[in-house]
Every structure is written in structure tokens, then in C-alpha cells.
Amino acid sequence: MAVSQRDEATLEVGSLLPDGHHLIGGEWVAGRGGETIAVSNPATGELLASVPRGDRDDIAEAVTAAAAAFPAWRDTSPSVRGQLLLRWAELCREHSREIDVLERMEVGRPTWGPSPVPGIITFTAGLADKVTGQTLPSAVPDVVGMTLREPWGVCGVIIPWNAPGPLTVQDTAPALAMGNTVVIKPAEDAPLTPLLIAKLALDAGIPPGVINVVTGYGGEAGDALSRHPGVRRMSFTGSPESGSRVMEACASHLIPVHLELGGKSPQVVLRDAPLEKAIPTIVRSITLNTGQICAAGSRVVVDEKIHDRVVEGLAEGFEKVTVGPWYEQVDMGPLISAKQQERVLGYLESGREEGAKVIVGGGKPQGEPFDRGYFVQPTIFDQVEPDMRIAQEEIFGPVLSVLSADDEDEALRIANGTRYGLVSSVWTNDVGKAIRVARRIQAGQVSINTLWSGGVIGAPFGGYKSSGFGRTVSAESILDYTQTKTVVIDGRR
């Protein structure tokens, strides 16, 4: 009998992870409350596995385990910590298919190729024994001053569902490299990949309790983690509204927090833009992972002189986007859940009501296999005004808004005219113009004639304004997981 594409792509989750368990102190433990959360395949609605509905008692147990593991991990040679992280990366590379397929099963995305998880850990491992302090000038020769970089202690990490593998390690690896221990609260929609990656860390020889994973809802387990007095540093990736609540919780016991809160990223297409490169790249940006990426280029701010050419090219590109279950050779899969599907469809209706013109898409695809999953059509809106909801709010779906600008100054006003400031792209063949516009855009990352990091290794990632603060996937993220201590030695008798 022939093997279907689905059979080739699917994993048996039970062979990788025990059903209905947290990972705390190196042990698989059931939730204290006894309740579980179903994790479903977004392409079909079928049950993949169940995880505990963690609460404050589960969080307290995990923080206690992390605190107990901290002194020995802190005092481990940074070179040894780096070697253990490299072993972790090797195991993730050996199991890269399992990581990739498991993430695709729970998120619903088609294949992207090799998982980036091993590379992120490898990059971080190399920095573990490279962080140094300073010697300080003194007013007298018998006094020496220096600074030390020391870990915070137990760190909390709350991650979203859209890319659970990379988002797990981009915070956890720097924390571990610097001698911290962590408690991870993954999203309830996609908690399986973080559990598998944490299991591989344990298999790599990273001591029990250094990495702990507690599953559950944000308002329960996530809130408890943010408020636990034993947590000394927090990292949160998600919406501005949830980020505000995390920050308020951390403020109650004066805990520093890193926030990455999404974006409404502009693609500024100037009159002399290389359209042959820009158009397919923009199409890929907003349809990748069904638009469920914080850095997705969801707004095209285009010079009026080339507006029609750009819209025509984008429409042709969108018409070629194939949609289907994640286990097939398609460009775009389903949204993560029925809730997210309803949210995106609501924005499509809002765009129409406010007067924007649908060029492509605008609803749900019909028939098999779409009726069973959470699918939506890739959609382009033209004649979008800057104050429309679809131009201001993060939709987190494959919805592209096209806005016209008469000149460079107006393009910049539109590009900067949201509360977000995560990433942006500028498309032009004029280097001087590119530099000038890049300096004036309010975003943590500006790419010229490319997307996001454009293949640059270690480019700091993070936002301005309501997109948050702090940086990841770079050497700066290592320093964020340390605090500075000044030591003064007075040698005078």
C-alpha cells in the first residue's frame, strides 16, 4: 500500500513525550490540579496530545527545582556550560526531523527546511566563556576596581505558539550559558516542541532542574510565573496587552523583564525599487507561517507612481500561493486555531466595512480539505487608509494592506504611524536614499532590499515603541541575562 504524504510527515507524539506531564526537576510529573489541555492538529482538528493545565502550585514546584539547581549551575565553569550547550545542539541536530515535524503538527505550518534550533544553540554556546568584566581606573595605586558579570538566578520565559522551537532556545540558551536556570511556560496551543527540546537538554547532560517546563494557560500558569517572588528575571513574547500584564506583575516585586510584543511592519517601496526582487519577497513575508509571524511585512507603503504595477505584481504572486494541510507540499497552511481563524476573518470584514478594496482572497477557501481545518485565504487589501484597523492593528494572518504615498516624507509618516516598531524593509536602488530612510524609520531592525536579518548572523532582534524592549538572537542577549557587580579591593595597610 502506498504511503501518503501525511503518513510520511506525521510523528507518534507518544513515542517522544509522555502524555499529560510537565518537566520539572528532571522528572516528568502530572499537573497538581489533575486537569489537562488538548493540543490539536490545526489542519484537521484531531487530537495530538494532552498537557497539564498548570497552576500556581506547579509553577511553585518548578521555581523551587530551578532555585535548587542554580548554585551548582552558576558555579560550573562557563567553558563546561558551553560544551553542554554544544552537546544539546548536537542532539537537536540529530533529532531535527522530530523537532521540525512536531512543530509543524502543532502549529500547522508547511516545511521550512532544517530547523534553526541547533544553530541558535550553537551560536550561544560559543559565547558562554567569552563574557568579561572590566578593570576600572582608581585614584590611588593601591586600590583596584573591577566589574563582574553574574547570572540573575531563576529566569521565567513565556513563549507564544507561532514558532515554539526557535523561541524556546533564543531565550533559554543565553540564560543557561550565563549560569541561570529557567522555568518555561509555553503557549497552550503549541507546548509539545518546547517539551521535546527541554527533554533533549536533559539527555545532553544539562543537570536536572536547570530547565523546567510547565504547561498551562497564560492567565493561570503564566501569571503565576510572572508573580512568583523566586523568579529574578522574566522574558515574554506575545501581544502588547499580555505584555503589559506581565510587566505589571513583575513590577510588584521589582523584577526586570524583556518584552517582544509584535509588529505592524512596513515594506516601504520607493519609486526606484527593484520590483523583481521586492514583490516575491513581500508575498513570502506575509504568507510565511500563514502570516503568524511578528515580523511579517503586513503593510506595503508604495510610491503612488508605481502603485498599480506593485499591486498587480502582488496579486499575481498571491494567486500562485498554494494553501493546504501542513503535511502537503504547499506554501501556506492553516491558522493555529478556530479562535485565530475567527479573529482574522473579523479583520477581513472590518477592512471591507471601512472601505478598503479586496484584490485577492477575502475569506475562507471552500471544500476538502479546508472544511476540517482553520484555513483562510491569503488576502490583499488596496486603497487602505492609515487610520483603518487593518493598517493599525496586528492581525497575525496572511492579510496585506497596500497604502499609497506621494513622496518619501509621506511614506515615512505612514511607516511610522502605528504604535509598533519591530522591523521594516526599504526597497530602493539608491544607497543614499536607503540610508536616509533607514535612519528615520522607527523600528528595531531595518532591512534594505531584503527581509529581517537578511542572512546576517547574530543580528539583534527587538522593537521600538509598543513592540517592546530588549534584544534576542545576538551577543546582546547574553549580556541581558547577567547583572553587573562592582568589586573594589583596597590593598592599603
List residues with catalytic annotation.
260, 294
Residue pair 225/59 in contact by the 8 Å Cβ criterion: yes
Cα dihedral 468, 471, 477, 482 sign = negative
Per DSSP bridges, beta strands 233-237 and 257-260 are parallel
Closest of 392, 411, 379 to residue 286, by C-alpha:
379
* Residue carrying C-alpha cell 553574574: 150
379 beta partners: 399
Chain mean position to CA 414: 25
Number of residues assigned to the chain: 493
Cis peptide preceding 386, ω within 30 of 0 = no
| Amino acid, res. 315 | A
Question: DSSP class of residue 98?
Answer: H
Distance in angstroms (rounded) separating the CA atoms of residues 210 and 158:
16
CA-derived radius of gyration, the chain: 24
Q: Which grid cell sits at 44?
A: 484537521
* Residue carrying C-alpha cell 523537532: 99
Distance in angstroms (rounded) separating the CA atoms of residues 306 and 273:
9
